[in-house]
Structure 1
Amino acid sequence: MPAETDVQTGTIMAWPTAHSVGDEKYPATGSEIRKTRQEVAEIAKAIAKHQPVEIFVRDPKLGEPARGFPDTNLSSAKEMLGRVKNMTLHVTQNVHSLWARDTGPVFVQSLHGPVRNTWGRSDDPGMGFSRKNTASETVGLLLNYNNWGRKLPPNVDAYFAGYTTQTLNKSSRIAPFVAEGGGIEVDGEGTLLATESSLLNPNRNPGIDKTTMERYFAEFLGIEKTIWIPGCRGADITDDHIDSIARFSAPGTVLLSKPFDNGKNGVLDAYHDAKEILSKATDAKGRRLKLIDVPEPDPRKVLGEDYDPQWSTVSYINYTLVNGAVVLAKFGDERFDEQAKRIVGEQFPGRVVEQVDLRELASQGGGIHCATQQIPA
């Protein structure tokens, strides 16, 4: 699996359906749905300045079972993005939520020539697919997305990874484990960061231990060394994904998200645990890791006093990298926003820092990285 700093041919994104914003317990208003889509559009526009964006939109002919809201999927996407250069809209039945990092494929490079997917005349390719033969050295690894450990009812996002891979004329392989793209972080030189709380969780991988999982990482991602962070089961819908905790800015250097101490017991415990483990760890090349803190703003200040910790994240390191730029969140606290821009920008010399206002996605438990998936060159 290439590092995110490597050259890319584009970025995958998904347009949120009205039904995917909020849930039955906390139904979204029409205003919240529009604001969520506007944030997704702004992320897409920032990326499109630097490379192509492939954005997948639910087919309006299928209807939208969304608590009485009219189907505005394609019309809203065209309104907000239809005239943006470097943007391609793909209409499909196989998309539901905006979280393409987790629902989409993780792209890896074959070390043994092109990987082929071949369909026979009598084969049934399944919902929304076609009998299209593919052969590619860039391969979409399908991670068996199960709604973050079956926390939500099944929906068509389960088909999104395979469908996108086929649409982009890439071959695919199914991993022998369940994960989401936000749950793994690689340096491109054989080292992987992950949380035990997400990947070694019976809601995803019952009965699979570290040794077995590391063997899978070696076979399917080319990993030689996995550094495990405990994480916290149930801390959020992802069970503590690594991409809001720790990210490689380069081999041997890790950016660590430091939560704001708002007086709640244990708010910094997971951070200190992660920092202690990483400070003692070595990577696949035997290097000790250099750790750089990126402080988070007070979530009460930027999301409101009634924010829900289980459905919110204000991590700056949930950025995404594209050719020549890093797309970074701006939460509305000027001091912290500027500090994050400086710290993250210093780690990516030669890249423009594109900051995008984020509130709705943050309130829904995700960020810019969660909404994107890179396609390596």
Structure 2
Amino acid sequence: MASFVNNATSCECPSPRALGYSLPPEWSQQQSVMLSCPINPATWPNTRPALERAYAAFAAAITRFEDLRLNCVAAAQEHYRSLLADAGADLSRVRFHDLPTNDAWCRDHGPIILRHADGQRRAVLDFDYNAWGGKFPPWDLDDAVPRAIAAMDVLPCFHAPLFCEGGALEVNGRGTLLTTASVVLNPNRNPGMSKARAEQLLMDALGCEQVLWLPSGLAGDDTDGHIDTITRFVAHDVVLTAYDDDPLSPNHDVLKRNDALLRAMRLHDGTPLEVIRLPMPEPIRPQNWREEILPATYANFLVINNAVIVPTYRQDRRDEQALAIIAQAFPTREIVPSDCYDIVIEGGALHCLSQQMF
């Protein structure tokens, strides 16, 4: 049976949980946010100028609150530095890494930072990565990012014998992980793996005591249903969950079922979850694209130091409704809207693009 490996020594080692490490909840204090610049010309092929402006605006918003690290090959750094400057970024808070990537979705290929119970030590968790079940080759450069960052930051790096992505993981900081079976148990990632084995690996990797499962996620989601597009912890016993009142929506039945399942869930100490519904945007249906509907969702917000950056979709009434609900969930943080209409065409939004560095 495969076990955890210390990437620095290539030797088997105890799990992060056994060594006292765990994944902090996203509202914990962060050192920085990491992004991978969208340098692959095959992505956003028809809307790249608009995408780059929206991306730079998002990056600039992060620099209002904390440091930003950008994975970007040297040849493209001046271009992105100019974009950030035009967007009003605080360039003194920006650090570029000459690190090549295949795609921009840093949530899924970036380093997952674990913290030790002593409050001081940190480590990198490195899952196997195959671009959401082999959908978008090549992915070799993305798969190498966690190890490269661990070496750069001189951190221990634990390889977990599981195909998984950061967008599939939602923790409450009190021992609970929320994820989806349609991702972790999908044969395109972990063929033949039992639910019990997957739970053990996830708990050992992330320092958790229980795994709560939802069956699946949004229509049109290339990831097969990442949790970060549907349900997010906003406190240890409170979740915001995407909900669609329209019975004709392709997401209505799935989200209604998820809502009912969440209300029946209990944390490992027996505490029930408080479930707050978060409306969905009106369906966005692109023409001549690989998906009939885009996985646009307000649940893909990014929690950073003193702020929450929230995706919006040029739907004033629904955008404002979602912003108000998220503001109630995070009363001590500034709520910053960020236009994702030109970003979501490639299947993700703010949380998908980013990775917190604790």
Q: What range describes the TM-score normalised by the shorter chain of this pair?
A: 0.7 to 0.9
The ranges of structure 1 where at least 4 consecutive aligned residues each deviate by more than 4 angstroms after the TM superposition are 232-235, 303-311
Distance 2:343 2:245 in 1: 19
Maintained 8 Å contact 2:112/2:126: yes
Instruction: From the superposition, tell whether residues 194 and 372 of structure 1 become closer, same or farther in structure 2 (CA, over 3 Å).
Output: same
Q: Which amino acid aligns with 2:259?
A: K
Matched, 1:230 2:245: no
Counterpart of 1:177 in 2: which secondary structure?
strand
Whether the 8 Å CA contact 1:310–1:365 is kept in 2: the answer is: no
Aligned match of 1:364: 346
SS in 1 for 2:72: strand
Q: Deviations over 1:151-179 (max 9, x none)?
A: 11123112122212322332211111110
The alignment-based identity, stated in percent, is 29
The question of 1:2 aligning with 2:5 is answered no
2:97 to 69, 82, 90: 90
TM-score normalized with structure 1 length:
0.82
* 2:263 alignment partner, one of 267, 279, 290: 279
Aligned to 1:195: 180
What CA RMSD, in Å, does the superposition of the two structures yield over aligned residues? 2.1
Superposed counterparts of 1:198-217, under 5 Å: 198-217=183-202
2:179 counterpart SS class? strand
Asked if 1:101 corresponds to 2:86, the answer is no
Residue 166 of structure 2 is aligned with which of 181, 192, 216?
181
Number of aligned positions between the proteins: 331
Equivalence for 2:330: 348
- Matched-pair contact (CA < 8 Å) for 2:283–2:293: no
What residue in structure 1 maps to residue 83 of structure 2? 80
Q: Counterpart in 1 of 2:133?
A: 149
Q: Aligned partners of 2:351, 2:244: CA distance in 1, in Å? A: 18
CA contact (8 A) 2:70 2:94 kept: yes
Would the alpha carbon gap of residues 44 and 308 (structure 1) be closer, same or farther in structure 2, given more than 3 Å must change?
A: same
The answer as to whether partners of 1:20 and 1:96 remain within 8 angstroms in 2 is no
Unpaired stretches in structure 2, ≥5 consecutive residues: 1-22
Letter in 1 for 2:79: S
Alpha-carbon deviations, 1:8-31, whole Å to 9, x = none?
111110101142414xxxxx13xx
Q: Which moved more, 1:230-239 or 1:242-251?
A: 230-239
Query: Quick one: distance in 2 between partners of 1:233 and 1:350?
Result: 30
TM-score by length of 2: 0.87
Change (3 A) 1:104 1:355: same
Check 1:216–1:372 CA distance in 2 against 1; reply closer, same or farther (3 A cut).
same
Match runs of 1:1-377 below 5 Å: 1-22=23-44, 28-29=45-46, 32-60=47-75, 73-81=76-84, 84-92=91-99, 94-111=100-117, 137-155=121-139, 156-231=141-216, 235-259=220-244, 261=246, 263-264=248-249, 266-300=250-284, 309=291, 312-376=294-358
Query: Matched residues in 1 for 2:268 and 2:58: separation?
Result: 33
Distance (Å, rounded) in 2 between the aligned partners of 1:259 and 1:180: 26
How big is each residue's C-alpha offset from its partner over 1:92-123, in whole Å with a ceiling of 9 and x where there is no partner? 2x32311000011211123489xxxxxxxxxx
- The CA deviation string for residues 243-280 of structure 1, in whole angstroms up to 9 with x for no partner, is 0010000011010012363735x431110111111110
Q: 1:215-263 deviations in whole A, cap 9, x for unaligned?
A: 1122111111111111059852100000001000001101001236373
Distance between the aligned counterparts of 2:51 and 2:203, measured in 1?
37
